[in-house]
Amino acid sequence: MHFKFTKILTLLFLFLLAPANGCSGISSTAASSVEEYSCTAKTRMSRIPSTPDITLSTSRCEDYVFKKEKLSQAINLFVLEYSESFKIDKDLVWAMLHRLHIEVSAIPRTVDLAYDTHGKLVKNPAVSGLALSPKHIWVEIKTSQIWSTSLAHELVHVIIWTSNFGVHGDPDHEGDQFSGWTPKHTKFIREFNKILLDYEI
Chain residues that interact with Zn ion, rule: CB under 5 A: 1
**Residue with Cβ nearer Zn ion (13 or 138):** 138
**Least distance in angstroms from the C-beta of 172 to Zn ion:** 9
103 vs 144 by CB, closer to Zn ion: 103
Instruction: Give me the least distance between CB of 140 and Zn ion, in Å please.
Output: 13
Instruction: Find all residues with CB under 8 Å of 99, minimum gap 6, and list them.
Output: 52, 53, 54, 55, 135
In the complex with Zn ion, which residue's Cβ is closer, 1 or 75?
A: 1
Name the minimum Å distance from CB 114 to Zn ion.
8
Q: In whole angstroms, give the CA distance from residue 90 to residue 166.
A: 20
Supply the minimum distance, in Å, between the C-beta of residue 157 and Zn ion.
Answer: 6
Q: Which of 172, 52, 198 is nearest to 113 (CA)?
A: 172
Of the two residues 106 and 131, which places its CB atom closer to Zn ion in the complex? 131
Please state, in angstroms and as integers, the Cα–Cα distance from residue 172 to each residue in 34, 103, 115, 117, 121, following that order.
30, 22, 5, 7, 8
Instruction: List the beta bridge partners of residue 32.
Output: none
